[in-house]
Structure 1
Amino acid sequence: MLKKDHKLNQWLWKWHFIAGLISLPFVIILAITGGIYLFKDAYEAPKQAHIKVVEVEGKAMSYQEQWQLAKPLLHKAPNTMVIPTEANQATAFTSGMFSHKNSVYVNPYKAEVTGRISPKDSDMYTVRKLHGELLLGQFGTKIVELIASWLFVLIITGIYVFWPAKKEGIKGFFKVRFKQGKQILFRDLHTVFGFWISILLLMTLAGGMPWTDVFGDNFKWVQRVTNTGFPKTWNARGLKSTIEGKAISLDEMVRLAKSMNLKGEVSIGLPKDEKGVYSIYNTTFDLGTQKRFHFDQYSGKQLVNHNWEDVGILMRGRMWFMAFHQGQFGTWNWVLMIGVAVLLAFMSIAALISYIKRKPHKKWGTPKVPLQFRAGYGIMALIVLLGIVFPLFGISVLVILFVEYFRRRIKKEKVEV
């Protein structure tokens, strides 16, 4: 068992307490909205069925004709077509990416568009915006990133503070005292559940941080300078077709794609202009089976192809944790993320109840630390490291230090007067 330094324990408990109190409302919001968003597919499927599902009647029109039908109905020319896997599935043509994504669905039997779908039109888009930016735009994303950064600190300090004393042994990791009052009960529920999901929480946070502004941009910069992101031609960047003769039809590319027997959802990347290229790729969360092929749209010559092994290690890690964060590795992952969201909300509420029960009247009840205590070089080095990795956390620590410095200075001047 870990032999803890009592003064260090008090100091870490103080900062765990302060950071937790400030973060608590936001953490509860993030946990609840994250849990709700995991039901996105189940919620949207019945609402979109009338657009995505068609009746099979007669002969289907060609994919080339469907492409021409979809073009004028999007603000930008479609850049992707998803190959239907069932006869009663409408063909999806998509332009844009992420929140700017717009899709039209074509009924190949009636030669008509069944409807459009944009992420912004769904109720789940509001949930996602609340989860990612608190409905406050760019300012909100900074708040969420700051809270997420402090969550790393809360987890690390929480593990140290909770770690049972030597005399308690293994039982200390499971100890919940039901008969010593509600304050102790909810404290134990918070600490025990918090400890046992701490690794999962760290993994979940690692999957969410790449979406943030400051950390996310810095992470992308590291990927670029270390060449550990996607290969330059992963998305056909810089590739061009040689204009010669008649372009290959979309139907020929679909036949080629089907012959490859790729796993997951298979899409055709459509040429943007007369020099653009065709692409064939699959989207699956069995990440190791993802492949990309790029072809000259006139000759059909393969220009380049990529496997998952071609992707840099930082990008592979990033994509894995992001998929894990969204519960996309199958039922086990989805259930696990639901459990994490529920337990995070529960342990946060338990912490709040415990605090309310122990809080002195008209005081914050901040834990006291001996005045002579000074954190060691190891702790300071860890704080500096976290401040570099998570810049918003680093800035917030500097602000706290400045406020603390001037508060003590003012207090000292009052005493001298």
Structure 2
Amino acid sequence: MSGAYRAVWRWHFYAGVIVMPFLMLLALTGGLYLFKDEIDQLAHRRMIQIAPSAARAAPEAWIASAAKAGGGRAANLLLPAAPDQAVKVRVDRPDGAQKMVFVDPHTARVTGVIDDGGVTETIKKLHSLSLLGGTTGTTLNILIEIVAGWTIVLCATGLHLWWPRRRQGAVLIPRETDARRRPFWRDLHALVGLYVGGVVLFLAVTGMPWSAVWGDQVMGVVKASGWGRPPAPVAGAWQKAEHHDHPAGAGWTMEGVVLPSPSHGRLDLTGVVAAAAAHDLPRPYTVSIPAQPGTAYTVTAQVRRVQDSRTLYIDPARGAVLADIGFERFGPGAKAIEWGIYTHQGTQFGQINRLIMLAGCLGVWLLGVSGLMMWWKRRPPSLSRARPGVSLGAPTAPPGPRVRAAVLGIVIPLCILYPLTGLSLVTVLLLDFAARRLMRRRPAVS
């Protein structure tokens, strides 16, 4: 076994130890979130399903009922596409809590109240590692960038280890072997990595826009360069939305900003819905209700394909549409990132898209289990008396310039592409170097 091969194997091992627990959590929650609509229907069916009717209450009655039931201000509402589904209204309470209120659009009767987002919102926050919220949630979300970078290390080193050498043929199907032996798990691990590794890599890269550091920086660069959000169509630039006015469902490119209105006043919600209908905005769509005067309503279509993305900004005083922003107006950077997000979420190419993403999530678990089984079958007889440098069962670190070149070839590109991942790689390198020096100095046990 060459020194370079052992070095790559060693880093594949360490990458798996560091990233796999988090990656398996992301795969589990991501796999569940692919079935968001089905989970919502199962968990909240009695609140969502209503009797269809030709009658319809005024939208003002919807938000009045929701505000009373939720104990706060109606911040946004989702108008469903089907007449047998309730309107969902998010209510912001004075204590900072948010509630989701289901309202029958035909009668304005409240059919249920839950915490905002329900079950799938909890799954989403687990997936982004931001469940705790606040500073702690942001700190945990930073792990997204680190995990994504280490996943790239896993995929690159795994492909190198699988690649056929000399007279050894490529392993493309499982070889006949006993499931109790390590070769079985090695073949399973290699083949799952080969067939779903590209999907896992795609999920890691396209998940980066949500990371707390890299995602925010890239968002700023893309939008500042003119490759992202289109210019504001009226006098005055886009304004950063305050927390209570953050537009719901606006997507990566248009999230976090609102459009100021040239006139002051308050249009009733009936006028907003009528304006959206007059501009042929298909349902379902979300209406964000501004709390501050002089801010336009943000009305965003909830679509499954990125090219159907569309957001209207409606003057709260006159009902005029100030801007109609579709996908075709995005810059090339925003288009690429938005396409990656929709594909990541399994909606861009229909059911086959969802199944391929699900295969990637299941593959992560198979890789984790098979990797653990391989380690278990080759673990040191006694971890406390293992040979220096292999106390965890990792291959020894061979010396030599080729090995250093291989390690630097991994570290330097990732330091440039993902700084937090690069920092974690440098940290592991230093710890590994210090541990090996310490083990060499330790006196041998007779």
TM range (shorter): 0.7 to 0.9
| 2:295 alignment partner AA | G
2:190 maps to: 191
CA distance in structure 2 between the partners assigned to 1:179 and 1:57 by the alignment: 63
Superposed displacement of residue 134, structure 1: 8.8
Q: Within 2, Cα distance between the matches of 1:381 and 1:373? A: 12
Please state how far the C-alpha of 1:396 moved relative to its aligned partner: 1.9
Q: State the match for 2:35 in structure 1.
A: 39
Match of 2:44 in 1: 48
Letter in 2 for 1:207: T
Pairing 1:305-320 to 2, within 5 Å after superposition = 305-320=324-339
Match of 1:386 among 414, 427, 437: 414
Taking a change above 3 Å as real, the CA distance of residues 412 and 90 of structure 1, as seen in their structure-2 partners, is: closer
| Aligned counterparts of 1:62 and 1:383: Cα–Cα separation in 2 | 60
The answer to whether 1:15 aligns with 2:15 is no
- Shift of the 275–75 alpha-carbon distance from structure 1 to 2, 3 Å rule, reads farther
Any idea what SS the aligned residue of 1:174 has?
coil
Are 1:73 and 1:104, in contact at CA under 8 Å, matched by a contact in 2? yes
Query: After superposition, what is the alpha-carbon deviation per residue over 1:40-69, rounded to whole angstroms, capped at 9, x for unaligned?
Result: 322221332222222346843222333344
Name stretches of at least 5 consecutive residues in structure 2 with no aligned partner.
Answer: 233-237, 239-253, 387-391
Q: Superposition pairs for residues 394-409 of structure 1, below 5 Å? A: 394-409=422-437
| C-alpha distance in 1 between matches for 2:211 and 2:97 | 18
TM-score, scaled to structure 2 = 0.79
The letter of the residue matching 1:188 is D
One-letter code aligned to 1:203: F
Q: Aligned equivalents of 2:396 and 2:156: distance in 1?
A: 20
The 8 Å contact of residues 241 and 297 in structure 1, kept in 2 or not, is answered as no
Task: Describe the SS at the equivalent of 2:74.
Answer: coil
Q: Which residue of 2 aligns with 1:113?
A: 110
Q: What do residues 134-173 of structure 1 show as CA deviations (whole Å, max 9, x unaligned)?
A: 967435434454333211101011111111125345xx14
Secondary structure of 2:313's counterpart equals: strand
Q: Which AA in structure 1 matches 2:381?
A: H
Q: How does 1:70-85 map to 2 (within 5 A)?
A: 70-74=66-70, 77-85=73-81
**Between 58-67 and 340-349, the greater mean CA deviation after superposition:** 58-67
Counterpart mapping for 1:262-301 below 5 A: 262-263=281-282, 265-301=284-320
| Structure 1 residues 154 and 100, CA gap change in structure 2 (3 angstroms) | farther
| Of 185-194 and 280-289, the range deviating more from structure 2 | 280-289
Change (3 A) 1:100 1:327: farther
SS in structure 1 of the partner of residue 285 of structure 2: strand
Runs of 4+ in 1 over 6 A off after TM superposition: 412-415
Task: Measure how far apart 1:272 and its partner are.
Answer: 3.0
Aligned to 1:242: 263
Structure 1 counterpart of 2:27, one-letter code: A
Q: Is the 8 A contact 1:281 1:292 kept in 2?
A: yes
The one-letter amino acid paired with 1:242 is S
Displacement, 1:31?
2.7
Q: CA deviation at 1:313?
A: 2.8
Conserved? CA contact 1:207–1:323, under 8 Å: no
Distance 1:289 1:59 in 2: 30
The alignment-based identity, stated in percent, is: 25
User: 357, 369, 384: which is aligned to 1:337?
Assistant: 357
Q: Distance in 2 between matches of 1:414 and 1:72?
A: 70
Q: Deviations over 1:71-103 (max 9, x none)?
A: 44456533433334333332333357xx97643
For 1:115-130, what aligned pairs fall within 5 Å after superposition?
115-119=112-116, 121-122=118-119, 124-130=120-126
**Which residue of 1 is the match for residue 163 of structure 2?**
163
The two structures have a TM-score, normalised by structure 1, of: 0.84
Please state if 1:230 is matched with 2:250: no
> Residues of 2 paired with 1:67 and 1:134: CA distance?
29
Q: Match of 1:360?
A: 380
Q: CA deviation at 1:386?
A: 0.3
